[in-house]
Chain A
Amino acid sequence: MEQKPDIVEILRRTQEGEYCDLKEWDVKRIPRTVRAMLKKYNLQGVCDKQSPVNLDMELADTFYKAGFELALELGMLCEATERIVRVSEEELSSALKFAPSELTLGFGKDARVMKARTPEDPYPCMFGASLGITVTEEVYSLLTEGIARQLEVDFLEGGSLATVNGLDVLPGTPSETLLGYVQGRKHREIRKAAGRVGMPGIGNISAVTEFGQFCYGTEGNFYNTDLSLILFPSELKINYQTLHKVVHTLAMDGLVFAGSPAMIGGMPGPAEGAVLSCIACALLQYPILQRSVGGGEIYDIRYMSNVNREGLWALSMTHQALSRNTNILTHGIANEVSGPGTAAFLYEILVGVAIIAASGASFSTGPRAAGGKLTDYLSPLECRFCAEVAHAASGWELSKVKEMAEHFLPKYEAAIKDPDVGKPVKEVWDLENFKPLPEAEAVYRQVKKEAIDFGFPLDEY
């Protein structure tokens, strides 16, 4: 019999759970509990800071066990009420058992099937592009259509809009509600214009609060066969904005795609602690946020990235642990720091996305061009490259991925703290004709050739 708590029960627990002050949660409860769990399972210091990929599957299984126990011990804190929402072992196990292990998203010939995978699984890791990099209204439609036209890209997300008809969008105000509806409509039109009307989408990346999300599943906007993106703060915290979005998505009979990165160097401490927190967070979202897809995002706060060695190790460990021990549809992001038109950006994608895919993630989204900091620094060419890498790495042996990572890391890692942010879209991509500009294309061809020469099974451009 299914024991998973429903959303009504979860809302009740946000009112009645154990009280915990937010600061106590952040600086005491999380670090102390994580530290104790690392000690209990003898996981302190097991991260080899020079090795970007874990190859010890027993160790990955131990991380899973510790992460599962951490999930039960901690639960998630509701920031609005400062109450801890906990689930029992039976509820958590049941939620994971009944979580979807395969989903058809989108519709018609453009639909994609996302499956639970395992490390080195030949079934392709799906790829969605891009992340929510701010783009101007001037370029939004053509840029997003350019991404949708890349047939390798499985899911369409697109950048974030910060204005609507020239008006600054202020989260939580009617301008955000308006933006949601405008972007939802545009998103449909763009997919149609790209000839991929049934391409699965992710919406709504511009929704900071619930107001921007109310468009999801409504007439003329994001379909309920698209993923409903619901981001929430780390570590292991939810709030009423998050739950508003969940309630709305469920009411639309839609699909919750939730995520929150665990932070290396943050409240859970070292890479090992962040992996545990990430696993716990991935698991808890199934009963608490009624999630269909997601879990497995992890960053290093010292770099606000994860394409450094420790970040990559943590990504590999997290996805191996989750994919070997559950049938859930996990999600990983490679957080690049370099920008469009640079070789470093492509190397970061190659290493980061390949590790995520080979470690067993079901789904990846990206890229985080220029660290996601600069307006209009995003191009369809790198979105295409991400998807090509995700597909090519699916089925590749982890040991080979590790060799490739070790080969390409020296080409960019020294510049992670001071990256080349590249160029805005108009300087690397022909928006009207949906093709890269020659200089950017040459860089892309060169890096791709290097990867192919290394033995990575990419198709020629």
Chain B
Amino acid sequence: MEKKEFLDALMAAVVDGEEEDSAAAAQAALDAGLDPLTLVNEAIQKPLEKVGKDFENGDCYLPELILVGDAARAASDVIMPHISAEDMAGSLQGKVVIGVVSGDLHDIGKNIVAAFLAAQGLKVVDLGTDVSPKEFVETVVRENAEYLIISTLLSTSRPFYRQIVQLLEARNKRTETFVLVGGGPVTPKWAAEIGADGYGRDAKDAVDLCRLLSDMVQKPPLSEPILVNALS
């Protein structure tokens, strides 16, 4: 098998959203001696960028976005340990805990954000919906996550955001974890009120926020949230 064929096989598995096939194709490509960074850039990053653009343009839909994201993550998990620290510069690193707060079972927005973040190389721990403040914070502690992303579509579930931030402080993790908030009823004003570090309207904003924060020297909590594409 030619090197290009290994690359194509990995890309095909990612594009098809096949998790196990992607991991296997990644391992096969590594075993064949392909450069890990080339695999990431050519066979993982490109399909991810394409599916992201297609989704925004209405040419592909949420299931594809999630499946391709999952497949990319599976391949990345195999490849990333083989990439040197200097080669990793430029891609996002770290761990994100994400979920929808208690009382809310709407998960579409959160799923899109999780898929976009995974696509950028972040390790995403997705807690799903109806997540209690305690579960959020315990997961952040257990996973040692750099970012906590909280979402809801319901204004009536919004008060839990404040509880999560307060609990994070009580567990002495606030100085190690950036808290990013979004969701239908969440505004920049609310983000500032509860002491969040960032606010975004959509998945692209979430990626931009993580990128901005990862480049910052300042540690959390920030004196005021970074607002990306804010709605007044």
Contact = CB atoms under 8 A, between A and B. Distances in A.
B102 A265 contact: no
Given A168-B162, A265-B62, A270-B61, A160 B155 contact: yes
Given A162-B156, A170-B159, A374 B63 contact: no
Interface string B185-204: 10100000000000000000
Given A134-B155, A265-B55, A302-B56, A373 B62 contact: no
A26 B63 contact: yes
Contacts of B103: 170-172, 176, 208-209
Interface stretch (B43-51, B76-84, B105-113, B143-151): B105-113
Given A233-B106, A373-B185, A171 B63 contact: no
A112 B159 CA distance: 37
A301 B153 CA distance: 12
B222 interface: no
B141 interface: no
A239 B105 contact: yes
A119 interface: no
Nearest to A241: B105
Q: Is the interface of A mostly helix, strand, loop or mixed?
A: loop
A421 B63 CA distance: 31
Interface stretch (A10-18, A27-35, A89-97, A193-201): A27-35
Contacts of A134: 155-156, 185
Contacts of A118: none
B67 interface: yes
Contact of A266 (B56, B62, B163, B185): B62
Given A160-B156, A171-B157, A28 B63 contact: yes
Contact of A267 (B63, B106, B156, B185): B63
Nearest to A134: B155
Interface in B113-168: 128-129, 154-160, 162-163
Interface string A151-176: 00000000010100000111110001
B162 A269 contact: no
A169 B156 contact: yes
A239 B19 CA distance: 28
B227 to A, nearest CB: 15
B106 A206 contact: no
Interface residues of B, number: 34
Given A171-B156, A373-B187, A421 B231 contact: yes
A234 B62 CA distance: 13
Given A263-B108, A267-B62, A267-B63, A371 B184 contact: yes
Interface string A294-338: 000000011010000010000000000000000000000000000
Contact of B158 (A162, A263, A267): A162
A304 B63 contact: no
B108 A301 contact: yes
Interface string A237-270: 1010100000000000000000000010111111
14 contacts: A26-B111, A30-B63, A160-B155, A162-B158, A168-B159, A171-B103, A172-B103, A208-B157, A233-B106, A241-B105, A266-B108, A269-B63, A302-B58, A304-B184
Interface of A: 22, 26-28, 30-31, 79, 132-134, 160, 162, 168-172, 176, 206, 208-209, 212, 232-234, 237, 239, 241, 263, 265-270, 273, 301-302, 304, 310, 371-375, 421
Interface of B: 55-56, 58, 61-63, 66-67, 102-109, 111-112, 128-129, 154-160, 162-163, 184-185, 187, 231-232
